[in-house]
Amino acid sequence: MRFRKHLTLWLGLLAGLPAAAQSSASITAPAARYWVTFRDKAGQMLQPAAYFDPAAQARRRRQHLPAADSTDFPVRPDYLARVRALTDSVTLVSRWFNAVACRATAAQAARIRLLPGVSSVEVWPERPMLPAVIHRLQRPAAPPAGSPDPLSPDDLVLARRQTAVLGAAGFRQAGQQGQGLRIAVFDVGFRATNTHPAFAHLYRRRAIAATYDFLRRTPDVYRGGSHGTEVLSCLAGQLPDSTFLGLAPGAEFLLARTEQQGSELYAEEEAWLAAAEWADRNGADIINSSLGYTDRRYFPEQMNGRTSLVARAAAMAVRKGMLVVNAAGNDGDDPTWRTVGTPADADSVLTVGGLDPDTFLHLPFSSYGPAAGGRLKPNLSAFGVAITAVPGGFERVEGTSFASPLVAGFAACAWQQQRDLPVMALFARLQQAGQLYPYFDYAHGYGLPRVAAFSAGDGPAVLPNPTFDFVAADSAVSVIIRPEAAVVPAYSLPLQAATEPLADTPTAEIASPPAPLYWQLRDASGFITRYEVLEVSQRAILRVPLQQLPAGGTLRVHFRGYTASFSVL
């Protein structure tokens, strides 16, 4: 208490020093990054038709949002001018949060707290950071010199499968390839995107609606890393044989550089927020963010959707009617951090995990849920190994960075079907389209989304036929596969409805392995305490001693589209 009293007194005395003395003190005091929030926007107004792109105005009408509200109004110029006069630099001005980010010394921050209109001043500690971009597993840090090797026959098969399993042929036959939607991509850079033949079709029809580098503050995003080029491939890239690598080649795109390779700075979270406000103004319907912030900045318990700036920014973007799709992360096999990062931790962010194309099961590197508080993450999954465009050609890459845009493309096509669907209603429908739904776990979420489930509309749900039974004895409960489910051919198409057109892709290329059995134990609150995936090789597939079931909990099982639970009273 004595220390706090003396510290307050010292800061107060420093605030009263002459300007020259304060300047001298600032020379020796280190600057830190601060977040300054203001009390009001009194006197500020906005002309929505002048500020927002017509696509943004149309999105707000579809989402039944006002043309503008106070979060869209500019920050008061007098408040901003006073902060600028006292700080080393203002690095961000946020309309959404009525706040600025700045670098300042402790003495300067103390003076800012006393300014009229300032509500709060928070310090953001600076620490050594690791790269934020979720591409740790794609390739070595220094790519080999020269052009990539030509794609192998297996690579060409994967290029077709990565969209075929998501219903590409069905969407294409319905004329749904993202037309009329605008997708913002936040990434580390888009090197070679504007010259790569994979995207020539976008530039021919002027589908790149806007670009901006929020680090260099220039419209040029075509330098820096090529991770954004690879991510954009999984939305709209095209091979020389006209195979599309993503589901939304008909959409328009906003390309934002928010990251820099080799460091994970708070400046990058600020850039994410600035890009989200820019995307809102420029009419984005969907934001794809294959980015994440984890252990060098936060503790796992802070992955609560409220602590980080980017989680709060993502939640605000959803309030503005945009769907935010984010990669789960590549820390699943990291013993020090296995969970999803941020902004993937936000409740209203559609978080996407990675599946192995050979097994359709969770890839070991894909980050696990739950988010803090036992909240469901990831929400959905898609292939975490994909074929993408890279400078000079095409390559096979891996990471949840690529599962995310594959699902974002699915969302664009699905939203195109029902353009007026509110964003969180779309979110719910996308989860319900997962092939595991209503089953989920902390590795797969609800699984791979299916066109058939989304296209079913609001009609009566068709209940799946039971595929197994629970048989309880005195000390255990067993799961027995029903005979009619056990004789389904080993190689089938359980992830797509039989009526979905797949003529463009040979059946052998999209066939999945024998359907596994998913099971879990849940406690009385619904938290999953254990979950596994089993290969079904016999009808008596699982036996669980009753003493292992949590008090008041349940055993939940999913097999071939059917989910059922056994409860302990």
Residues belonging to the active site: 187, 227, 401
Give backbone dihedrals phi and psi of 396, rounded to 5 degrees, phi first. Answer: -85, 125
Residue 149: both structure tokens together: 């090797």
Tokens 């978080």 map to which residue? 351
Residue 535: both structure tokens together: 């290969």
Total residues belonging to the chain: 569
Rounded CA gap, 277 and 228, in Å?
19
Q: Helix/strand/coil (H, E, C) string of 170-186?
A: HHHHCCCCCCCCEEEEE
Task: Find all residues with CB under 8 Å of 338, minimum gap 6, and list them.
Answer: 331, 332, 367, 368
What is the amino acid identity at position 96? Answer: W
What is the amino acid identity at position 505? Answer: T
Q: Do the Cβ atoms of 208 and 202 come closer than 8 Å?
A: yes
Tokens 């197994």 map to which residue? 468
Rounded CA gap, 250 and 268, in Å?
30
Task: Find all residues with CB under 8 Å of 292, minimum gap 6, and list them.
Answer: 132, 134, 326, 327, 328, 329, 340, 341, 342, 343, 344
Task: Find all residues with CB under 8 Å of 107, minimum gap 6, and list them.
Answer: 11, 14, 15, 22, 25, 26, 29
Helices 400-417 and 227-236, packing angle to 10 deg: 40
Q: Is the dihedral of CA 410, 416, 418, 419 positive or negative?
A: positive
Rounded CA gap, 314 and 309, in Å?
9
Strand, coil or helix: 568: coil
Q: Helix/strand/coil (H, E, C) string of 496-522?
A: CCCCCCCCCCCHHHHCECCCCEEEEEE
Q: Do the Cβ atoms of 349 and 318 come closer than 8 Å?
A: yes
Tokens 């690791």 map to which residue? 130
Give backbone dihedrals phi and psi of 231, rounded to 5 degrees, phi first. Answer: -65, -45
From the centroid of its chain, how far is CA 436?
20
Q: Do the Cβ atoms of 24 and 16 come closer than 8 Å?
A: no
